[in-house]
Amino acid sequence: MKMDKLKDAQCGTAIMYFWRFYLNNSLMEYHPRTIITQFVGDLVQESAAGQERALEQILEYVLFLIQQLNFHLVVHTLYRLMEGLLIDLKTRYPLLENPESLRKSADDFLTRATLTDTGLLFPPSEIAGLSMETYLTECMGLKEDKETLLKMYDAMIPIPTTRWKHEFLKQEEVNAYKIKLYFLIVYLFIFYPSLVNIFLTLLELHCWLRACK
């Protein structure tokens, strides 16, 4: 298996899974070579380069690896964001003759960033915000443009406090929703008996996931 056949986003996802795995496991118990091979192998199955690989070699560890990740499989890779930025530059910034010329240096930077623990310490929104500040001040030469920077800061300041403004449901409201859900389930069982098996299957899956955690 050659890494150059994989997309950057797939490699970035595999590396992030690798970091997350060793947050809860020891290097002395699981050899890094085995773990990274399995993570990358899982992603190879999604690409044309790895379609000939035997599935048995991958499926043997899939459930165990997902369990060790606490079923947290969402990864916000920076490579997809970079693709969106390049598309935006091509359509909205005609003064830049060849946006593709930025790809190599951007890829090199993202590869180095992927090898750090930044993705484990900060959410994507904060990383994007700091990156935007650096981009405007250093790359775009707007360090002295106070007006533009102030507008950006005014837009960024409310971001950390927005989540604290959310009001969670009170226990009385939660209990009321539980009662409504109970009557809904009873209604479905009476008038739509064909949905019983589907519901029981989902319930078993839910219980299994809770047990795995």
DSSP designation for 192: -
163-205 confidence digits (pLDDT tens)? 545 566 788 887 888 788 777 777 777 777 766 666 666 666 6
Q: Which amino acid makes up residue 199?
A: F
Structure tokens at 149: 């920077």
Q: Which of 22, 24, 16 is nearest to 42 (CA)?
A: 16
Give yes or no: residues 49 and 87 share one domain.
yes
Q: Identify the sign of the CA torsion 150, 151, 156, 162.
A: positive
DSSP designation for 136: I
Give yes or no: residues 17 and 1 share one domain.
yes
How many C-beta neighbours within 10 Å does residue 151 have?
A: 11
22-75 confidence digits (pLDDT tens)? 777 877 777 777 676 666 555 544 444 444 454 555 566 667 777 777 777 777
Residue that is last in its domain, among 82, 102, 119: 119
- The string over 40-72, giving b where at least 16 C-beta atoms fall within 10 Å of a residue's C-beta and e elsewhere, is bbbbbeeeebbeeeeeeebeebeeebeebbeee
pLDDT computed for residue 94 by the predictor: 76
Give yes or no: residues 11 and 40 share one domain.
yes
**Residue 77 above 80 pLDDT?**
no
Residue 176 structural domain: 171-212
pTM of the model: 0.47
Give yes or no: residues 96 and 15 share one domain.
yes
Give yes or no: residues 103 and 201 share one domain.
no
How many C-beta neighbours within 10 Å does residue 145 have?
A: 13
User: Distance between CA 39 and CA 66 in Å, rounded?
Assistant: 10
Q: What is the mean pLDDT of residues 114-127?
A: 73
98-114 confidence digits (pLDDT tens)? 878 877 877 777 777 77
What DSSP line would sit under 7-75, residue for residue?
Answer: -HHHHHHHHHHHHHHTTSS-TTTS-HHHHHHHHHHHHHTTSGGGTTS-HHHHHHHHHHHHHHTTT----
Total domain count, the chain: 3
